[in-house]
Amino acid sequence: MAKLGVNVDHVATVRQARGINEPDPVTAAAIAELAGADSITVHLREDRRHIQDRDVEVLRKTIKTRLNLEMAATDEMVGIALKILPDYVTLVPEKRQELTTEGGLDVVRNRQELKTAIEMLQQGGIPVSLFVDPDIEQIKESHRLGADTIEIHTGAYCEARRADERQLELVKIQNAIRAGRKLGLGVNAGHGLNYHNVQEVVALGGIDEFNIGHSIVSRAVLVGFERAVREMVDLIRKEG
């Protein structure tokens, strides 16, 4: 059965919008674990736009499942990972201007830089996952570089509007799962998955773990909104 990794980055996005200490992604992670999440994912971006170093440090001490640290393959991030010792690292491409991770790693073009990061992390006892598009060459190269796992970027499937496009993207994901499995890699998947599109991917089988963030945080805001307003209404109506 596939596992669920919950990405709590966007709880931190709301906190950072005010620059105060709530909502705390660490509390969200604890609630996710109580609700059955199998792991917690955070992306410590170079620009620290949502998750902060403190969050990763506290999560490391409080998480009871597994901590997946998403990061770019830079010296700074490798140094942080070796200090924090997450249960695994997912290497992702990172551009300052992007709203979110836009595509998978170009493992073929960046093999030297990735090889160095993978080796350093693995020597420090941290398994490494590479976030890649459902592209066989990228998956083969990930295997050659010694990655433990690949995370298949599901964004193109999630964004496809036409049924034929969507089907084509689903087939690419299926072929990527097969290729990863054949090479003995762990196979995760994520990006853009929501309450309407995840089941078709689950039905393909062969995925160890789904990493899902935005749709869960979005739903939490809406399903929790009524209760939050009622609680404030109760306080306001209690005069004197």
- Is 191 one of the annotated active-site residues of the chain? yes
Q: What is the dihedral of CA 161, 187, 172, 153, to 10 degrees?
A: 40
The residue whose two tokens read 């089941």 is 199
Cβ at position 159, least distance to ligand PXP in Å: 10
| Helix ranges restricted to H, 5-135 | 9-18, 25-34, 53-62, 75-84, 111-123
Q: Going by DSSP bridges, is the β-strand pair 209-212/186-190 parallel, antiparallel, or unpaired?
A: parallel
d(CA 45, CA 94): 8
Cβ at position 137, least distance to ligand PXP in Å: 19
Catalytic residue (choose from 141, 143, 191, 209): 191
Among 118, 116, 42, residue whose Cα is nearest residue 86: 42
Q: Of 101, 138, 142, 149, which one interacts with ligand PXP (CB under 6 A)?
A: 101
d(CA 154, CA 198): 10
- Give, as ranges, the residues between 122 and 151 that touch ligand PXP (CB under 6 A): 131, 151
The footprint of ligand PXP on this chain (CB under 6 A) covers a number of residues equal to 19
Q: Of 86, 190, 207, 209, which one interacts with ligand PXP (CB under 6 A)?
A: 190
| Segment contacting ligand PXP by CB under 6 A, of 78-86, 111-119, 165-173, 186-194 | 186-194
Residue 218 tokens, joined: 């979005």
Q: Of 15, 43, 50, 143, which one interacts with ligand PXP (CB under 6 A)?
A: 43
Active-site amino acid positions = 43, 70, 191
Which residues of this protein are in contact with ligand PXP, per CB under 6 A?
7, 9, 43, 70, 90, 92, 100-101, 131, 151, 190-193, 211-215
